[in-house]
Amino acid sequence: MEGVTTLVGQGLYMAVAAVIGLGIARILKRDNTLGCLIAGVLAGGLLPVLDYDTGLRAENLHQLVFFVILPVLIFESAWKIDPDILFRWLGPILLFATVGVAICALITAVLVYYGIHHPSGFPWIAALITAAILAATDPISVVTRLRQSDANEELLTLVEGESLFNDAVAIVLFTFTLSIATHSVMEGAVATEEVVSSAAEYALYFAVIFLGGLAVGGICGLVTAIVILFLGAAGAALMVLVLAAFGSFYLAEHVVGVSGIIAVMICAMVARACLREQRETYLTHAEPTLEWLSLLFTALIFVIMGLVINWEMISDQWLAMLIGIVAAIGARGLAVFLVSPLARFVGPPVPKNWRLILSWGGLRGVIAVALVLSLPTELPYWWTIQSMVFGVVLFSLLVQGMTSTRLVGMDR
């Protein structure tokens, strides 16, 4: 009983910090993520004074991130995208999420590896893990400003859809590279204990967990829609949607052994497409509910980042942070401008004035922070990777996020 009481107290401490962070963001008129980061730093500073332990450990953070936070964030992002417009832009979105992510990750890995230039302390696999984490984008600041300015709905769909598929592929790539680094797939990522030993097996393994996630997600989405229609009540529909977010991930990861993140994403998209006529009936409260859940978990992630980051990290790892920033921004820009001209072969062409929005607006945020917080401390280079990712996220919040307003008028 005492353990449960302690756990509740720790959760309340971080939740209060998250609410304070939202207040700070409102006062500063900045993004909620920045306010929650500041609140996390302040909450961390109070810990020695209060003689309090938050209970945050690497081993429980990994499970918290993969089993609780990521399913909700991915499900909410997938749910709010208009399926009709998404279908129109699906070709370019998939192009960016596959070829684009591959180019971005490869360039990032090369720049980070040779930038750190410490083969024994920072091997290629460490560079690949870093690249996979930094491939995940979070353009929430740009999207918010575009919505406030009544921007082109197709641009909004392209930006949000590209980020969603980008995140899903990046997470699969992260779990895949992490499994190679640890010589067994970590609990809560992809459920298998096999050690793959050749390039062909790696490719087959990646294809199986990716395509398997698509299949499981499609089935879960259809079942979700059928159950909601059968129950025929708004309250029950919300219960089913939240259960679908967690259940599709658990089923894919622990029962079938494929990508849970892909399953969650496809589940949300299929369910929404099947239930489009119920948006004003059974699903009238679905978007607000998923939105507040996403806000809660996003706020908690940045509070945790604030608790973890410290001046020692900045003073010891400032050069690695700068390398990470240059690699992430440069790789993203090159990937977008290399892939964009190819979009016309698989769908509508991407206008030139949209490419800068996709490039500079591809901030690193909650997904990158969530992934890097889940790194096992048994990896000798985890501290360096975490420092680089934190540096890139800070740059996104303080520079990219605050200058993204200038991009809003470029969609005309």
Q: What's the rounded Cα separation, in Å, for the pair 28 and 288?
A: 25
CA-based radius of gyration for the chain: 20
pTM for the structure as a whole: 0.84
Alpha-carbon distance values, 143 to 31, 147, 152, 167, 293 (Å): 12, 6, 11, 16, 19
Give, rounded to a whole angstrom, the gap between the first and last alpha carbons of the chain: 59
Q: What's the rounded Cα separation, in Å, for the pair 278 and 323?
A: 49
Reference 339, options 132, 102, 54, 95; nearest CA is 95
Reference 358, options 168, 173, 160, 84; nearest CA is 160
In the prediction, which pLDDT does 186 show?
41
Beta-carbon neighbour count of residue 230 at 10 Å? 9
Reference 14, options 290, 307, 294, 289; nearest CA is 307
In the prediction, which pLDDT does 191 show?
41
In the prediction, which pLDDT does 200 show?
64
Reference 135, options 176, 93, 95, 171; nearest CA is 171
Reference 240, options 222, 260, 224, 264; nearest CA is 224
Q: What's the rounded Cα separation, in Å, for the pair 89 and 162?
A: 9
In the prediction, which pLDDT does 149 show?
66
Going along the chain from its start, the domains and CATH numbers come out as 1-55 (no CATH), 59-411 (1.20.1530.20)
In the prediction, which pLDDT does 410 show?
54
pLDDT, tens digit only, all 412 positions of the chain:
555 676 677 778 888 999 999 999 999 888 888 899 999 889 888 877 777 666 665 556 777 777 888 899 889 988 988 888 888 898 999 999 899 999 999 999 999 999 998 877 899 999 999 999 999 887 776 777 676 666 677 888 888 888 888 888 888 889 888 888 886 434 334 444 444 455 566 677 777 888 899 999 999 999 999 999 999 888 899 999 999 999 999 999 889 888 888 999 999 999 999 998 887 788 888 888 888 888 998 898 888 888 888 788 888 889 999 999 999 999 999 999 999 999 999 989 988 888 888 888 778 888 898 889 888 888 889 999 999 999 999 998 888 877 766 666 555 5
In the prediction, which pLDDT does 412 show?
53
